[in-house]
Chains A and B, each alone.
Chain A
Amino acid sequence: MNRFYTCIISGLFITGAAIAQEEIPIPKFIEGQAKPIWLSVSGINGEALEVLQFDLYVQGFNFTNVDGAQYLISGSANGNFQGRAMDKFNKSTLVSHSYSGESLRRQVHQFADDFVSALQRKPICRTKIAFKGETRPNSEIFVADFDGQNAKKVTQDGSIVAAPSWAPGRSALYYTSYKFNHADIFHHDLTSGDRTTYALFGGSNMSPAPSPDGSKVAMILSKDGWTDLYVRSSAGGDPLRLTKSPQDESSPCWSPNNEWICFASKDAEHRVLKKISASGGQAQRIGIGGVINPTEPDWSPDGKWIAFTSQTRTFQICVVPAAGGDARVLCEGEDPSWAPNSRTLICARRGENGYVLSLLDVPTGQVKDVSRISGSNSQSQPSWAR
């Protein structure tokens, strides 16, 4: 019997050693692995140039003179924006269009979208983001253009809100609000303005994540006395309890095929990411090499990557292949959310006086903060409408 215990104890030590070895406390910031695509711009200036450079920089393009450029962009902005994009090497015209209607900013966004579409990429410049905006001491949910412009408050709860998440279709949000002095989950239709309470269970109702097909919502509930992961039909009904652990689970997200839910959890006091079938079963750990304390996963729309936050003394944005592997540390920041193009992320970066939202092109590692957002001191927990 003594030997039996020895066997178990030595087993524990081996496990402990293996875990300790995984811990590399100093994050390695890796310079962008992919080189930017070089562009030259002529004839465009002022606001139009500013908007165009922002739009394309956060999608992995950078700017140089005609000699060094692969694509040549030219245009004018006298009232309406006229834009033209040429491939310098095969001398073909990719885009040549005169835009009208709405604002100059919007016209430039459309040109940027036309240009990346001509390169067989998914456009992102006319999409929306949602985020938590501090209105100290409270917070409200805001919606804005992807670059932080045209920000609008969508809640007036005079309380705390958290974790906005877009429902598919880009016209409704789920989020947590403390309007009723508890953490409850709301569904908010942005077209009609109607909102309904989605989850008001005893305890806290947290981190709602609608499935990509909109049929289900994953969330963290404590109604049974522990903070566990549940999934429920978006129409309501009994939630299915997916985890049953005294550890805390947090931040569920979905695989694009609606089959898996990835979430932050713990194994033997170590923070890990796990995935579990949306219909239940055994959770599987996602192996992550090189960084510690992963939380806040978000699965890329093409299914290939999981972005997450790693915590040491600060917070870093990382990506790992969805099947597991070595993590790539990209920049300081928290709570990444993928754009529809599966290459740009939005995250929150700690600034002097609160958080600012930042866009990050994963392949090149190019980062740009969005300009100051009116109506709130600090912006965090961004969610990109996909």
Chain B
Amino acid sequence: MKLIKFANLLAFAIAITIGAVGCRTQHPNVIKFDEQGRPITGSGADQTAGTAGKLDTDSSIAKSADTTGIAMGNGHPGWGEEREALKADTIHFEYDSATVKPAEHSKVTAVADYLKSNSANAVKVEGHCDERGTDEYNRSLGERRAQAIRTELVKAGVDASRVDTVSFGRDRPVDTGHSDASHRKNRRGEFVVLTPPK
């Protein structure tokens, strides 16, 4: 009996040690930055959409999502913004949560399909929050919502470099009321279509 207990403890200790060592050996992706703070990929700063922010291959995306998140690209400076095309696909969240609910997955699929059939365009995901939560807490939460949607789009086959994110926290409510119904409408991720500069 005592021996079994000891064996359990030992297994537990080993599990913890492996976990700890595992954490320590992960390195963040090394990204260089220019003077403006924009990431430089490859040999120089590349502002074009196709090659911007060279990202993980499909197989490593799942892995990096589990460990450090999916790195962002350079974004799409100078691209046009179109807010109507994907308006119906706005995704809603539970209070204080950045989990994309199963019921919302069909919207992710619809956006992924749109991007497949409009291969020149990209998308910006805007994360928003209700007023319950402090300013900067909500700004981080909104960004995490946008990142969660981005991760789902990548899982649906969209190249990560085509998805930008931004958080507005509680600064841009669609409903300025204080009721639960207002709060529900404001906890959301909106899709803005980005079109290449003409």
CB distance from B61 to the nearest CB of A (A): 10
Q: Cβ of B136 and Cβ of A311 under 8 Å apart?
A: no
B residues apposed to A, CB below 8 Å: 4-5, 8, 11-12, 26, 28-29, 31-33, 35-39, 53, 64-65, 67-75, 77, 81, 98, 124, 132-137, 139-144, 146-147, 150-151, 164-169, 171-172
Contact between A182 and B135 (Cβ–Cβ < 8 Å)? no
- The closest CB in chain B to the CB of A269 belongs to B96
- Given the complex of chains A and B, what is the CA–CA distance between A220 and B139 in angstroms? 10
Residues of B within 8 A of A249 (CB): 140
Question: How does the 8 Å CB contact mask read for A155-184 relative to B, with 1 for contact and 0 for none?
Answer: 000001011000000000000101011110
Contact code string A285-317 (vs B, CB < 8 Å = 1, else 0): 000000000011000000000000101000100
With the chains together, A7 CA to B32 CA distance in Å?
46
B135: contacting residue among A3, A137, A197, A380, CB under 8 A: A380
**CB-CB under 8 A for A7 and B12, given A183-B139, A248-B140, A296-B134:** yes
Looking at chain A, what size class is its interface with the partner chain?
Answer: 35 or more
From B64, B139, B165, B166, give the contact of A250 (CB < 8 A): B139
Partner of B38, one of A160, A181, A200: A200
Interface of B is mostly: mixed
Q: Within the assembled complex, what's the spacing in Å between the Cα atoms of A264 and B139?
A: 12
Please determine whether B147 and A222 come into contact, CB atoms closer than 8 angstroms.
yes
Chain A residues engaging chain B, CB cutoff 8 angstroms: 3-4, 7-8, 137, 139, 160, 162-163, 176, 178, 180-183, 197-204, 206-207, 220, 222-227, 236-238, 241, 244, 246, 248-251, 264, 271, 295-296, 309, 311, 315, 334-335, 380-381
Give bound CA distance, A218 to B77, whole Å: 25
Could you list 17 further interchain pairs (A-B, Cβ under 8 angstroms) beyond the known A163-B136, A225-B72, A250-B140? A139-B171, A160-B172, A162-B135, A163-B139, A181-B81, A197-B36, A201-B39, A202-B71, A206-B143, A223-B31, A224-B72, A225-B150, A236-B33, A237-B33, A238-B32, A296-B135, A334-B135
